[in-house]
Amino acid sequence: MAPTGLYHHLSSYFKNTEEDALPPLSVAFVGALSVAYTILYVLPFYLSPTTRPSPTLSRDAPTVIRARIRFVSVSVALSTIATIYILANRANASTLEILRLLGWYPISIVQVSRSLLLTALLFTGPLFEKAVVEGRWKDWMQGRTLHESLSSWIGWRNYVAGPVTEEILFRSLLVPLHLLTPLSPTRIVLVTPLYFGIAHVHHFYEFVLTHPHTPWTPSIIRSLFQFTYTTIFGWYATFIFVRTGNVIAAILAHTFCNWAGLPRLWGRVEPMVAIGGPTVRGKEDSRSELGKERAGHWSWSLAYYLLLVTGAVGFQQCLWTLTESPTALAKVA
């Protein structure tokens, strides 16, 4: 089937230069497909005893992590095949147009670096705390942190498998499908991350399984909080993906945020003093440092919060300029 100029169609539709430029996909169809993709991604976690957590089996167990990575890889592969088929047959997209819509080509190292710099600006305070206050800059220079992070299955899940599979599914696959519906790019940036946030709600059931004696109220609050911050990150990652047309930029932003954890918004900032051996942290333990105690001066806190605010202002000022790209998938108002 001959290509019909998918990018011209998208440009015409969003700029209203052609009255008869009708979107090739319906919102209902793409919404149902998005729900199916999300279920296909999460459901296998609970269908097999090798991936289903219990009071005696943590999600951080290496056997569970390895099995889950295998399952989500297959799920994402199947979803990718389905999406490529739909783009080729329902939207008459050529091979090059499909690769561009998925954010797989072209890949600009400059654009990836600009997006990573933008993300780092938001974490100026936490980077200062890790590098200077906690003295980790030497480990970073020697590559020790990278080696330690990827030498465990927890690190491999948090920094490689998780970001890659989630960004391919929730950005590279879902966003192009929604761009071919009547939804505007701005609404797509706001709506599609809800699937990403909902996909993390299963952690409530997971937490109840592994912590059967914890009351439901704190468990629900914990899950609502997780849904909130994953959705907020989803907005940001989708914004980057639509503005750059580059899935690698979204993946590295995801990896960076997983590594940095949630920024400290209150409390004293003090150096860490090791009192025991190294510890391995799960993804959700970003603020805990077992085997260490804190000791320091108020000036660390002052510097941290000044840098946190400065970084947030810089992030806001550079949000549009650092994500501007000639390969953008659509114009976000």
Residues with a known catalytic role = 166, 200
Question: Could you tell me which of 30, 17, 36 has the C-alpha nearest to residue 78?
Answer: 36
Distance CA 325, CA 333 (A): 15
23 in Cβ contact with 180 (< 8 Å): yes
244's tokens: 């750059």
114 in Cβ contact with 322 (< 8 Å): yes
**Helix or strand or coil: residue 192?**
coil
CB 80: neighbour CB atoms within 10 A?
Answer: 16
Q: Where are the alpha helices (DSSP H) in 25-150?
A: 27-42, 62-89, 95-101, 109-122, 124-128, 137-142, 144-150
Residue 179 one-letter amino acid? L
Residue 104 one-letter amino acid? W
Whether the upstream peptide bond of residue 49 has omega within 30° of 0, thus cis, is no
CB crowding 240-272: b at 16 or more within 10 Å, else e:
bbbbbbbbbbbbbbbbbbbbbbebbeeeebbbb
Distance CA 34, CA 200 (A): 15
**Helix or strand or coil: residue 288?**
coil
| CA atoms in the 13 A half-sphere facing the CB of 57 | 13
